[in-house]
Amino acid sequence: MTRTGLLLAALSLSTVAMAQESGVLTVQEGSTVFIDGTSNKNDWTVEASEMSGSFELEDGRVVSAQFSVAAASIKGSSGVIMNRLISKALKTAAHPQITYVLTEVVDSEAVEGGTRLSTKGTLTIAGVEQEIEMDVMVSEADDLVRFVGEHPVSMPDYQMKPPTAFFGALHVGKDVVVRFDVVAGPSGEAGTR
């Protein structure tokens, strides 16, 4: 992408994020991250309860974004065994954080309800980094900016072994989908959820 094209993409985002001209927006209450997966028994969903992140603005443009989830906070309602399997697969003891760092806004498009961004970034899970491309829907309400999207993750790409239990009677599918709905606001409010 040309430098002019990248500048136009950044300026398009700035029209969404004008609630604060310069400074840092941080993750607020109401943000959610879900992971949807499958097993040979049933589909399942888990949710992260601890997350943090920041989005730096300069002259109305987002110049950096980083987001992290406490891996041990990812739990579901399928019971203790499933939560233990997920924690083991994520290698939470050795790698307590799952992180995403934005590296580039490739393109942007005004759509109903906000702006759709095509982005590149670095996703780190279980200590393994992967460069990913992801579409993110961005919208504004009052002083808050909302980032919504999803991204498929294949566990082997991050050197994770899909969990099994009960001597192989239960085995989890290797592919999951991470869904996020992140609300960011001025850092003076609440920086962690």
- Tens digits of per-residue pLDDT, 67-107? 999 999 999 887 788 889 899 999 999 999 999 999 998 88
Return the closest-CA partner of residue 157 out of 175, 171, 173, 172. 175
Residue 81: predicted pLDDT: 81
pLDDT above 60 (res 149): yes
Average pLDDT, the chain: 84
pLDDT above 80 (res 17): no
Contact call for residues 71 and 50 (beta carbons, < 8 A): no
Return the closest-CA partner of residue 65 out of 56, 75, 78, 74. 56
**Structural tokens at position 57:** 């603005």
**Which element (helix H / strand E) includes 179?**
strand 175-186
CATH class of the structural domain 3-186: mainly beta
Residue 62: predicted pLDDT: 66
Provide the pLDDT confidence category of residue 22 given band limits of 50, 70 and 90: low
**Which element (helix H / strand E) includes 88?**
helix 80-90
Using CA atoms, how far apart are residues 16 and 27, in angstroms rounded to an integer? Answer: 16
Place of tokens 């869904």: 179
Place of tokens 């136009």: 8
Q: What is the mean pLDDT of residues 7-21?
A: 44
Provide the pLDDT confidence category of residue 170 given band limits of 50, 70 and 90: confident
Q: What share of the chain is helix, strand, coil (3-state, %, to 5)?
A: 15, 55, 25
Residue 4: predicted pLDDT: 38
* pTM of the full structure: 0.83
Q: What is the mean pLDDT of residues 12-29?
A: 64
Contact call for residues 155 and 89 (beta carbons, < 8 A): yes
Give residue 145's identity as a one-letter amino acid code: V
Provide the pLDDT confidence category of residue 148 given band limits of 50, 70 and 90: very high
